Amino acid sequence: MQITTNSGELYKCLDTVEKALPVRSTVPMINSILFEVQPDALVFSSTNLEMAIRVSIDYAGDDTGKILLPPKIVDIMRYFPVSEVNLHINWDNYRVDLTGGTAHFNLNGADAYDYPTAVFGQPDPDSGFSIGQQRFKKILRSVIFAASAEETRPAFNGVLFAFDGPKLTLTASDTYRLVVKEIQDDSWSFEERKCLVPARVMREFLRIVEDSEKEVLIGLDNKTIAFNFDSINFTSRLLEEKYPDVSGVIPGSYKTRVKIERKGFEEVISRAALLAEGKNQAVNLILNNNQLEAKVSGQEGSMEELIPVEQDGENIDLHVNTRFVLDILKILEEKEVLIDFHGNDGPLIFRLVDDQSFLYLVLPIKKIN
Protein backbone atom coordinates (compact mmCIF):
# COMPACT_ATOMS: atom_id res chain seq x y z
CA MET A 1 0.00 0.00 0.00
CA GLN A 2 1.29 3.45 -0.95
CA ILE A 3 0.37 6.64 0.98
CA THR A 4 1.52 10.17 0.21
CA THR A 5 0.98 12.92 2.79
CA ASN A 6 2.47 16.13 4.17
CA SER A 7 5.46 15.38 6.37
CA GLY A 8 4.86 18.39 8.65
CA GLU A 9 1.27 17.36 9.30
CA LEU A 10 2.36 13.78 9.89
CA TYR A 11 5.02 14.90 12.37
CA LYS A 12 2.50 17.04 14.27
CA CYS A 13 0.24 14.01 14.69
CA LEU A 14 3.07 11.76 15.81
CA ASP A 15 4.47 14.38 18.19
CA THR A 16 1.04 14.65 19.82
CA VAL A 17 0.42 10.92 20.29
CA GLU A 18 3.98 10.42 21.57
CA LYS A 19 2.92 12.19 24.79
CA ALA A 20 0.82 9.17 25.78
CA LEU A 21 3.54 6.58 25.22
CA PRO A 22 4.63 4.86 28.45
CA VAL A 23 8.07 5.60 29.87
CA ARG A 24 8.43 1.97 30.83
CA SER A 25 5.86 -0.76 30.41
CA THR A 26 5.69 -4.51 30.90
CA VAL A 27 3.11 -4.60 28.09
CA PRO A 28 5.33 -4.52 24.96
CA MET A 29 2.49 -3.69 22.59
CA ILE A 30 1.73 -0.26 24.09
CA ASN A 31 5.33 0.84 23.63
CA SER A 32 4.43 1.34 19.95
CA ILE A 33 2.21 3.79 18.05
CA LEU A 34 -0.93 2.35 16.50
CA PHE A 35 -1.38 3.42 12.86
CA GLU A 36 -4.76 2.77 11.22
CA VAL A 37 -5.65 3.39 7.60
CA GLN A 38 -9.37 4.08 7.34
CA PRO A 39 -11.50 4.95 4.30
CA ASP A 40 -11.49 8.66 5.18
CA ALA A 41 -8.56 9.16 7.54
CA LEU A 42 -5.10 8.17 8.70
CA VAL A 43 -5.33 7.64 12.46
CA PHE A 44 -2.44 7.55 14.96
CA SER A 45 -2.95 6.42 18.56
CA SER A 46 -1.01 5.70 21.73
CA THR A 47 -1.72 4.86 25.36
CA ASN A 48 0.04 4.19 28.65
CA LEU A 49 -3.23 2.73 30.02
CA GLU A 50 -3.73 5.83 32.17
CA MET A 51 -4.31 8.18 29.25
CA ALA A 52 -4.79 7.70 25.54
CA ILE A 53 -4.44 10.03 22.55
CA ARG A 54 -5.83 9.55 19.06
CA VAL A 55 -5.12 11.97 16.19
CA SER A 56 -6.38 11.78 12.61
CA ILE A 57 -5.42 13.21 9.22
CA ASP A 58 -7.99 13.44 6.43
CA TYR A 59 -7.21 10.91 3.72
CA ALA A 60 -9.07 9.27 0.86
CA GLY A 61 -8.01 5.79 -0.20
CA ASP A 62 -9.25 2.32 -1.01
CA ASP A 63 -7.16 0.16 1.33
CA THR A 64 -7.65 -0.26 5.07
CA GLY A 65 -5.53 -1.83 7.77
CA LYS A 66 -3.60 -1.26 10.97
CA ILE A 67 -0.03 -1.69 12.08
CA LEU A 68 2.16 -0.85 15.08
CA LEU A 69 4.93 1.65 14.39
CA PRO A 70 8.15 2.01 16.42
CA PRO A 71 8.36 5.29 18.43
CA LYS A 72 11.52 6.18 16.49
CA ILE A 73 9.29 7.31 13.64
CA VAL A 74 8.61 10.50 15.63
CA ASP A 75 12.27 11.52 15.51
CA ILE A 76 12.52 10.52 11.87
CA MET A 77 9.65 12.80 10.89
CA ARG A 78 11.01 15.60 13.08
CA TYR A 79 14.08 15.76 10.83
CA PHE A 80 12.47 14.71 7.56
CA PRO A 81 14.14 16.63 4.70
CA VAL A 82 11.16 17.47 2.48
CA SER A 83 7.52 18.52 2.86
CA GLU A 84 6.06 15.40 1.27
CA VAL A 85 6.56 11.84 2.51
CA ASN A 86 5.68 8.57 0.85
CA LEU A 87 4.81 5.59 3.03
CA HIS A 88 4.79 2.11 1.59
CA ILE A 89 3.24 -0.46 3.91
CA ASN A 90 3.67 -4.19 3.48
CA TRP A 91 0.81 -5.75 5.43
CA ASP A 92 2.37 -9.22 5.16
CA ASN A 93 5.61 -8.55 7.04
CA TYR A 94 4.61 -5.25 8.76
CA ARG A 95 7.39 -3.32 7.11
CA VAL A 96 7.06 0.41 6.49
CA ASP A 97 9.23 2.31 4.01
CA LEU A 98 9.41 6.11 4.25
CA THR A 99 10.86 8.05 1.33
CA GLY A 100 11.14 11.71 0.45
CA GLY A 101 13.80 13.64 -1.43
CA THR A 102 17.06 11.76 -0.93
CA ALA A 103 15.91 10.13 2.36
CA HIS A 104 14.83 6.50 2.60
CA PHE A 105 13.96 4.76 5.87
CA ASN A 106 12.97 1.14 6.44
CA LEU A 107 11.06 0.51 9.68
CA ASN A 108 10.01 -2.77 11.24
CA GLY A 109 6.44 -2.60 12.47
CA ALA A 110 4.32 -5.22 14.22
CA ASP A 111 0.89 -6.80 14.21
CA ALA A 112 -1.70 -4.52 15.88
CA TYR A 113 -4.39 -7.18 16.31
CA ASP A 114 -4.41 -7.15 20.14
CA TYR A 115 -3.79 -3.44 20.66
CA PRO A 116 -6.07 -2.17 23.49
CA THR A 117 -8.22 0.31 21.51
CA ALA A 118 -10.96 0.13 24.16
CA VAL A 119 -9.10 2.75 26.23
CA PHE A 120 -9.96 5.47 23.70
CA GLY A 121 -13.11 7.24 24.85
CA GLN A 122 -15.74 8.86 22.67
CA PRO A 123 -17.82 11.50 24.48
CA ASP A 124 -21.54 11.18 24.03
CA PRO A 125 -22.68 14.53 22.56
CA ASP A 126 -26.00 14.23 24.42
CA SER A 127 -24.39 13.80 27.85
CA GLY A 128 -21.21 15.85 27.34
CA PHE A 129 -20.64 19.60 27.24
CA SER A 130 -18.54 22.08 25.29
CA ILE A 131 -16.27 24.92 26.35
CA GLY A 132 -13.83 27.11 24.43
CA GLN A 133 -10.34 25.68 24.23
CA GLN A 134 -8.63 28.94 25.19
CA ARG A 135 -10.97 29.49 28.14
CA PHE A 136 -10.63 25.93 29.41
CA LYS A 137 -6.84 26.02 29.05
CA LYS A 138 -6.64 29.21 31.11
CA ILE A 139 -8.89 27.73 33.79
CA LEU A 140 -6.88 24.52 34.02
CA ARG A 141 -3.60 26.45 34.35
CA SER A 142 -5.05 28.39 37.27
CA VAL A 143 -5.92 25.18 39.13
CA ILE A 144 -3.63 22.31 38.23
CA PHE A 145 -0.40 23.72 39.71
CA ALA A 146 -1.71 23.18 43.25
CA ALA A 147 -2.19 19.40 42.87
CA SER A 148 0.26 17.17 44.71
CA ALA A 149 2.98 15.22 42.90
CA GLU A 150 3.64 12.93 45.88
CA GLU A 151 2.50 9.37 45.19
CA THR A 152 1.85 8.82 48.91
CA ARG A 153 -1.24 11.06 48.61
CA PRO A 154 -3.07 9.54 45.63
CA ALA A 155 -6.30 11.50 46.11
CA PHE A 156 -4.40 14.79 45.97
CA ASN A 157 -2.70 13.71 42.73
CA GLY A 158 -5.95 14.57 40.97
CA VAL A 159 -8.09 17.53 39.98
CA LEU A 160 -11.65 17.19 41.24
CA PHE A 161 -14.39 17.93 38.69
CA ALA A 162 -17.69 18.56 40.52
CA PHE A 163 -20.78 18.91 38.33
CA ASP A 164 -24.00 20.46 39.60
CA GLY A 165 -26.70 21.92 37.33
CA PRO A 166 -25.18 24.76 35.27
CA LYS A 167 -21.98 24.78 37.35
CA LEU A 168 -18.64 22.95 37.16
CA THR A 169 -16.23 23.39 40.07
CA LEU A 170 -12.54 22.42 39.76
CA THR A 171 -10.52 21.78 42.93
CA ALA A 172 -6.84 20.93 43.46
CA SER A 173 -4.73 20.73 46.60
CA ASP A 174 -1.47 19.31 47.98
CA THR A 175 -2.72 19.75 51.61
CA TYR A 176 -0.60 22.91 52.05
CA ARG A 177 -2.59 24.97 49.57
CA LEU A 178 -5.89 24.76 47.77
CA VAL A 179 -7.42 26.14 44.56
CA VAL A 180 -11.14 26.29 43.86
CA LYS A 181 -12.48 27.57 40.53
CA GLU A 182 -16.16 27.65 39.58
CA ILE A 183 -17.34 27.78 35.96
CA GLN A 184 -20.96 28.43 35.11
CA ASP A 185 -22.81 28.34 31.81
CA ASP A 186 -26.57 28.60 31.37
CA SER A 187 -26.39 26.11 28.51
CA TRP A 188 -25.11 23.39 30.86
CA SER A 189 -27.42 21.09 32.78
CA PHE A 190 -25.45 18.54 34.78
CA GLU A 191 -26.61 15.82 37.08
CA GLU A 192 -24.81 16.18 40.39
CA ARG A 193 -21.64 14.06 40.36
CA LYS A 194 -17.90 14.21 41.00
CA CYS A 195 -14.90 12.68 39.25
CA LEU A 196 -11.17 12.81 39.98
CA VAL A 197 -8.87 13.31 36.99
CA PRO A 198 -5.09 12.64 37.30
CA ALA A 199 -3.26 15.97 37.40
CA ARG A 200 -0.28 14.64 35.47
CA VAL A 201 -2.61 13.66 32.63
CA MET A 202 -4.15 17.14 32.64
CA ARG A 203 -0.66 18.61 32.40
CA GLU A 204 -0.15 16.64 29.18
CA PHE A 205 -3.53 17.89 27.97
CA LEU A 206 -2.34 21.47 28.51
CA ARG A 207 0.67 20.78 26.29
CA ILE A 208 -1.64 19.75 23.43
CA VAL A 209 -4.71 22.00 23.56
CA GLU A 210 -4.28 25.30 21.75
CA ASP A 211 -5.25 28.90 22.49
CA SER A 212 -8.14 28.61 20.10
CA GLU A 213 -11.68 29.96 20.04
CA LYS A 214 -12.81 26.53 18.89
CA GLU A 215 -14.55 24.37 21.44
CA VAL A 216 -13.54 21.18 23.18
CA LEU A 217 -16.24 18.55 23.73
CA ILE A 218 -15.93 16.89 27.13
CA GLY A 219 -17.71 13.66 28.05
CA LEU A 220 -17.33 11.10 30.78
CA ASP A 221 -18.54 7.78 32.08
CA ASN A 222 -17.86 5.91 35.31
CA LYS A 223 -14.20 5.21 34.52
CA THR A 224 -12.98 7.74 31.95
CA ILE A 225 -13.18 11.34 30.87
CA ALA A 226 -12.61 12.24 27.22
CA PHE A 227 -11.79 15.50 25.44
CA ASN A 228 -12.48 15.91 21.72
CA PHE A 229 -11.05 18.95 19.94
CA ASP A 230 -9.83 19.61 16.42
CA SER A 231 -8.80 16.15 15.15
CA ILE A 232 -7.71 14.92 18.59
CA ASN A 233 -9.36 12.55 21.03
CA PHE A 234 -7.72 12.72 24.49
CA THR A 235 -8.91 10.21 27.09
CA SER A 236 -7.98 9.81 30.75
CA ARG A 237 -8.88 7.17 33.27
CA LEU A 238 -10.42 8.53 36.45
CA LEU A 239 -8.81 8.04 39.85
CA GLU A 240 -10.81 5.81 42.18
CA GLU A 241 -9.73 7.54 45.40
CA LYS A 242 -12.30 9.55 47.35
CA TYR A 243 -11.47 13.25 47.42
CA PRO A 244 -11.88 14.76 50.90
CA ASP A 245 -14.37 17.55 51.58
CA VAL A 246 -12.19 20.67 51.62
CA SER A 247 -14.97 23.19 52.18
CA GLY A 248 -14.36 23.13 55.93
CA VAL A 249 -10.84 24.60 55.61
CA ILE A 250 -12.10 27.76 53.87
CA PRO A 251 -12.92 30.42 56.49
CA GLY A 252 -16.25 32.18 56.15
CA SER A 253 -14.94 35.69 56.83
CA TYR A 254 -11.60 37.45 56.98
CA LYS A 255 -9.93 39.44 59.74
CA THR A 256 -7.88 41.50 57.30
CA ARG A 257 -8.17 42.15 53.58
CA VAL A 258 -5.66 43.95 51.41
CA LYS A 259 -5.76 45.01 47.79
CA ILE A 260 -2.31 44.85 46.24
CA GLU A 261 -0.75 45.47 42.82
CA ARG A 262 -0.03 41.98 41.54
CA LYS A 263 3.05 42.54 39.40
CA GLY A 264 4.81 44.66 42.00
CA PHE A 265 4.10 42.09 44.71
CA GLU A 266 5.41 39.31 42.44
CA GLU A 267 8.67 41.20 41.95
CA VAL A 268 9.11 41.78 45.70
CA ILE A 269 8.52 38.09 46.51
CA SER A 270 10.88 37.07 43.68
CA ARG A 271 13.63 39.15 45.28
CA ALA A 272 12.83 37.69 48.69
CA ALA A 273 13.04 34.16 47.26
CA LEU A 274 16.69 34.78 46.30
CA LEU A 275 17.68 34.60 49.99
CA ALA A 276 14.88 32.37 51.33
CA GLU A 277 16.33 29.17 52.74
CA GLY A 278 15.35 25.73 53.97
CA LYS A 279 12.57 23.40 52.91
CA ASN A 280 9.88 26.04 53.37
CA GLN A 281 11.67 28.90 51.54
CA ALA A 282 9.94 31.24 53.98
CA VAL A 283 9.34 34.97 53.75
CA ASN A 284 8.08 37.01 56.67
CA LEU A 285 5.09 39.19 55.71
CA ILE A 286 4.35 42.08 58.07
CA LEU A 287 1.25 44.15 57.41
CA ASN A 288 1.11 47.46 59.22
CA ASN A 289 -0.94 50.54 58.38
CA ASN A 290 -1.30 50.10 54.60
CA GLN A 291 2.29 48.87 54.17
CA LEU A 292 3.21 45.25 53.52
CA GLU A 293 6.81 44.41 54.36
CA ALA A 294 8.59 41.33 53.04
CA LYS A 295 11.57 40.21 55.14
CA VAL A 296 14.05 37.36 54.72
CA SER A 297 17.11 36.55 56.79
CA GLY A 298 19.49 33.63 56.26
CA GLN A 299 23.10 32.50 56.17
CA GLU A 300 23.75 34.27 52.87
CA GLY A 301 22.21 37.57 53.89
CA SER A 302 18.95 39.38 54.46
CA MET A 303 16.49 41.64 52.65
CA GLU A 304 13.47 43.74 53.47
CA GLU A 305 11.18 45.67 51.18
CA LEU A 306 7.94 47.60 51.53
CA ILE A 307 5.01 47.66 49.15
CA PRO A 308 1.93 49.90 49.58
CA VAL A 309 -1.48 48.22 49.93
CA GLU A 310 -5.09 49.11 50.69
CA GLN A 311 -5.71 47.58 54.11
CA ASP A 312 -9.02 46.71 55.74
CA GLY A 313 -8.64 45.16 59.20
CA GLU A 314 -5.97 44.37 61.77
CA ASN A 315 -2.20 44.21 61.29
CA ILE A 316 -0.60 40.85 60.45
CA ASP A 317 2.76 39.15 61.05
CA LEU A 318 3.31 35.68 59.58
CA HIS A 319 5.60 33.51 57.44
CA VAL A 320 4.69 31.86 54.14
CA ASN A 321 6.42 29.79 51.46
CA THR A 322 7.70 32.09 48.71
CA ARG A 323 7.10 29.48 45.99
CA PHE A 324 3.46 29.09 46.99
CA VAL A 325 2.96 32.84 46.64
CA LEU A 326 4.84 33.14 43.36
CA ASP A 327 2.97 30.22 41.79
CA ILE A 328 -0.31 32.11 41.87
CA LEU A 329 1.05 35.59 41.14
CA LYS A 330 2.73 34.32 37.95
CA ILE A 331 -0.43 32.65 36.69
CA LEU A 332 -2.92 35.44 37.33
CA GLU A 333 -3.17 38.24 34.77
CA GLU A 334 -5.16 40.78 36.78
CA LYS A 335 -3.59 44.13 37.65
CA GLU A 336 -4.63 43.87 41.31
CA VAL A 337 -5.49 41.00 43.64
CA LEU A 338 -7.10 40.68 47.04
CA ILE A 339 -5.46 38.81 49.92
CA ASP A 340 -7.58 37.81 52.91
CA PHE A 341 -5.74 37.14 56.17
CA HIS A 342 -7.24 35.19 59.07
CA GLY A 343 -4.95 36.20 61.90
CA ASN A 344 -1.26 35.36 62.30
CA ASP A 345 -1.95 31.59 62.33
CA GLY A 346 -4.77 31.37 59.80
CA PRO A 347 -4.59 30.83 56.04
CA LEU A 348 -4.01 33.44 53.36
CA ILE A 349 -6.65 33.46 50.63
CA PHE A 350 -5.92 35.09 47.27
CA ARG A 351 -9.01 36.32 45.44
CA LEU A 352 -9.80 38.30 42.30
CA VAL A 353 -11.16 41.81 42.65
CA ASP A 354 -14.11 41.40 40.27
CA ASP A 355 -14.51 37.62 40.15
CA GLN A 356 -15.88 35.60 43.08
CA SER A 357 -15.53 32.28 41.24
CA PHE A 358 -11.85 31.77 42.15
CA LEU A 359 -9.85 31.41 45.36
CA TYR A 360 -6.36 30.23 46.25
CA LEU A 361 -5.71 29.29 49.89
CA VAL A 362 -2.22 28.95 51.37
CA LEU A 363 -1.40 27.80 54.89
CA PRO A 364 1.19 29.90 56.74
CA ILE A 365 4.36 28.38 58.18
CA LYS A 366 3.83 28.03 61.91
CA LYS A 367 7.45 27.49 62.90
CA ILE A 368 10.69 28.53 61.24
CA ASN A 369 13.55 26.06 61.65
CATH number of 129-237: 3.10.150.10
Write out pLDDT tens, residues 52-106.
999 999 988 788 899 999 999 999 999 999 999 999 999 999 999 999 999 999 9
* Residue 121: per-residue pLDDT: 65
Are the beta carbons of 40 and 58 closer than 8 angstroms? Answer: yes
Dihedral class, residue 193 (left if φ above 0, else alpha if ψ from -120 to 50, else beta): beta
Question: pLDDT by residue (tens digit) across 180-216?
Answer: 999 999 989 998 999 999 999 999 999 999 898 899 9
Q: Which of 85, 88, 89, 80 is nearest to 110 (CA)?
A: 89
CATH architecture of residue range(s) 2-119: Roll (3.10)
Cα(56)–Cα(54) distance, rounded to whole angstroms? 7
- Architecture of 251-362 per CATH? Roll (3.10)
What phi-psi label fits residue 34: left (phi over 0), alpha (psi between -120 and 50 degrees) or beta?
beta
- pLDDT of 5 > 90? The answer is yes
Q: Are 198 and 204 in contact (CB under 8 A)?
A: no
Contact 122, 56 (CB under 8 A): no
Give bridge partners of residue 219 from the DSSP assignment: 226
Report pLDDT for 279: 87
The full set of domain ranges for the chain reads 2-119, 129-237, 251-362
pLDDT in tens, 39-54: 899 999 999 999 999 9
pTM over 0.95: no
**Residue 242 in this model has a pLDDT that exceeds 70:** yes
Could you tell me what percent of the chain has a pLDDT over 70? 97
Same-fold call for 2-119 versus 251-362: yes
Q: Of 47, 54, 55, which is closest to residue 23 (Cα–Cα)?
A: 47
pLDDT tens per residue across span 243-262: 999 989 999 999 999 999 99
Q: Which residues contact 323 (CB under 8 A, 6 or more apart)?
A: 273, 281
Q: Counting runs of H as helices and runs of E as strands, what totals does the chain give?
A: 6, 25
Inter-residue long-range contacts of 71-76, CB under 8 Å, 24+ positions, other chains counted: 71/18, 71/21, 71/31, 71/32, 71/33, 72/107, 73/14, 73/33, 73/98, 73/107, 74/11, 74/14, 74/15, 74/18, 74/33, 76/105, 76/107
Terminal alpha carbon distance of the chain:
68
For residue range 262-299, what is the model confidence (pLDDT) as tens digits? 999 999 999 999 999 988 999 999 999 999 999 999 88
Mean pLDDT of the chain: 93
